[in-house]
Structure 1
Amino acid sequence: MTRMHAVPATALGLALLLSACAEQGGAGAAPPTSAPAGVTLPDDPDVPVLQVEYTGGFVTPETIAGRLPLLSVHADGRVFSQGPVPAIYPGPAWPNVLVHQADPADVAELVRHALDAGVAGTADLGMPGIADAPSTRFTVTTAEGTTVREVYALQEGAGATAGLTDEQQAERAELAELFAELTDLPFTLDPQGGAASSYEPTAVAALVRPWTAPEADPVVDLPLEQPAVAWPGPALPGEPLNPLLHCALATGEQAQAVTAAARAATGLTPWTTADGARWAISFRPLLPHETGCSDLTGRG
């Protein structure tokens, strides 16, 4: 089973904003000859100029470290997003990261749209009375610098008004509309599906902890024990991220070997090393602007 996309009315504005896209994957499109007034994109094509991501929430340290942005739009027009995954258990070990290609001139317009829609705002957004929800972080980067707007419980607090002023509710509604537009951007770029390419990273962070046998479910009789797989990457467990989790970075040929092995594994696969140790590993492909495990420690 795969996730189906609904097209919100707000996406129609982006459909008009973003033209049909250039060749998918691979190299980025040529730089724009002009940009919207007041918006100049960075020269480095790998810089993410617009990102939407979750931070915090009642989740495990492994989930926090391994989070991918919901959307990452880069200066050359590459758009990284999370594609559908099979609704099975245990799920696949490898995240389904897709790459679309937008025209960089449209990306500059999209950046200005995000700033105008509230990312550049500084007013207090209030706190709905909801516990343990994540915050939604919008990050915009232009040649002039980076702007960040973070809002607690943006989706979970939709419709919640207790403790919020009319102004806070209005700003939250505008940011929620922007969130819907941006997270539907891959569909706007590719309404028929099939145009995206699967992301092939040059570096992969393996998030490592000691393997423990999965507990049997007393209700659902599933074969949870998975075949062990020999680890093809760097020495484990790698550098510590926190008391419970380590990170090992695979690059070059090792990154290719780890990617191939992870694509054939599940989230419960035990990974074995030459000394007989078994490890539980989740995988975080690094995006083009990321260089190592340190990029995962400040995501919140």
Structure 2
Amino acid sequence: MTRTRGLLTAAAVPLILMAGCARPGEAGSAADPILESSAASPTVLVRIAHEGGFMIRDYNYGRMPVATIYSDGRVITTGPTTMMYPGAALPNLLVATITPERARQWADDALKAGVRTGADLGQPGVADIPDTVITATSGGATQTVRVTALNEAAPDDSNLTAAQQAARKKLAAYAKELTSFAETGSPAPVAYAPDAVAALVQTYVPDPQAKQADIAWPGPALPGAVLNPDTKLSCVTVTGAEKDTVLAAAAKANARTPWTSGGKQWGITFRPFLPDETGGCAALKDAR
């Protein structure tokens, strides 16, 4: 069965791409709590993410980083997903635990692999492919590299010099090693349990090929605060015991499940927050 990694499941994409008619909510309302940062929050040592590509902006709000390594040794990745339609309602997030020393080594290795701000990785002759953005913090300094079509460019692409090809190959090998380790290393990863989750909400549009039974929405009133006024994409942040109830319901749903709230049907894409992400739905406004 075909599997994919690093983006929302293909089945989840239609929900977030649909332009609905949700009514604007009000930012800062009780339905959109602000997540406070904690002094104990771990530092991000390495993050691999995808940005851009040929897709409308709404998709970006739900996109998760491919892999994140924290200073406390947690390694959180987007695990493989099937291409079944409709796909699961929740993204497959995995968390493994390594020693803080090994976490720092991964950050050191990222710099050795070429993660350096301003590095010239060239522009291959490939269109509409997301950029891979790798950030690493080592020795008190943070470096970020952005690579267009890291894994999609041809090895003989005439737009790339030999040096650029070599640098891209080195970065790709590092990224592959990290994601493979996080999924298959020892101890084995387990499902990530977030402290908060965002529900990205639009008016539900029925799909004649995937008729679904309604599920009553057990969280804050929908639709919540508006993220994109053009498409009326809205968002509510769910925390605490209410979050646990929502996640339990979502585990029984799929990406095309209609959720009912306030006498209306809503399409929802779930976007769990990672340990370093604070600010609730408002923090997603700058998603790329």
TM over 0.5: yes
Structure 1 residues 260 and 143, CA, compared in 2 at 3 Å: closer, same or farther? farther
- Counterpart residue identity of residue 283, structure 1: F
- Deviation per residue, 1:229-264 (Å, 9 max, x gap): 111111211111112211111111111111111111
Shift of 1:295: 2.9
Q: What is the RMSD computed on CA atoms of the aligned residues?
A: 2.2
Q: Work out which of the two has the higher radius of gyration on C-alpha atoms and give 1 or 2.
A: 1
Aligned to 2:219: 233
Aligned to 2:263: 276
- Deviation per residue, 1:201-232 (Å, 9 max, x gap): 1100001111011144xxxxxxx111101111
Give the SS at the match of 2:81. coil
CA contact 1:128–1:157 (8 Å) conserved in 2:
yes
CA contact 1:102–1:189 (8 Å) conserved in 2:
no
Structure 1 residues 86 and 174, CA, compared in 2 at 3 Å: closer, same or farther? closer
Distance in 2, matches of 1:143 and 1:276, equals 55
- Say yes or no: does 1:139 pair with 2:108: no
Shift of 1:180: 1.4
Q: How many residues align?
A: 252
TM-score, structure 2 normalization? 0.81
Structure 1 residues 294 and 269, CA, compared in 2 at 3 Å: closer, same or farther? same
Structure 1 residues 128 and 113, CA, compared in 2 at 3 Å: closer, same or farther? same
Aligned to 2:152: 156
Shift of 1:123: 3.0
CA contact 2:219–2:243 (8 Å) conserved in 1:
yes
Shift of 1:153: 0.8
Mapping for residues 36-75 of structure 1, pairs under 5 Å: 44-75=40-71
CA contact 2:77–2:93 (8 Å) conserved in 1:
yes
CA contact 2:201–2:223 (8 Å) conserved in 1:
yes
> 262, 265, 277: which is aligned to 2:250?
262
Distance in 1, matches of 2:234 and 2:68, equals 25
CA contact 2:41–2:276 (8 Å) conserved in 1:
no
CA contact 1:207–1:282 (8 Å) conserved in 2:
yes
- Counterpart residue identity of residue 286, structure 1: F
> 80, 83, 88: which is aligned to 1:84?
80
RCO higher in 1 or 2 (8 Å CA, sep ≥ 6)? Answer: 2
> Structure 1: where are the runs of 5+ without partners?
6-42, 217-223
Distance in 1, matches of 2:130 and 2:221, equals 33
- Deviation per residue, 1:258-298 (Å, 9 max, x gap): 1111111011100111x311110000110111121233233
CA contact 1:45–1:74 (8 Å) conserved in 2:
no
Shift of 1:158: 4.0
Shift of 1:47: 2.1
Shift of 1:144: 2.1
Give the SS at the match of 2:268. strand
Aligned to 1:200: 193
Aligned to 2:276: 289
Structure 1 residues 49 and 181, CA, compared in 2 at 3 Å: closer, same or farther? same
Give the SS at the match of 1:164. coil
CA contact 2:117–2:143 (8 Å) conserved in 1:
no
Percentage identity across paired residues of the two chains: 42
Distance in 1, matches of 2:131 and 2:149, equals 5
- Say yes or no: does 1:253 pair with 2:246: no
Give the SS at the match of 1:119. coil
Shift of 1:106: 0.9
TM-score, structure 1 normalization? 0.78
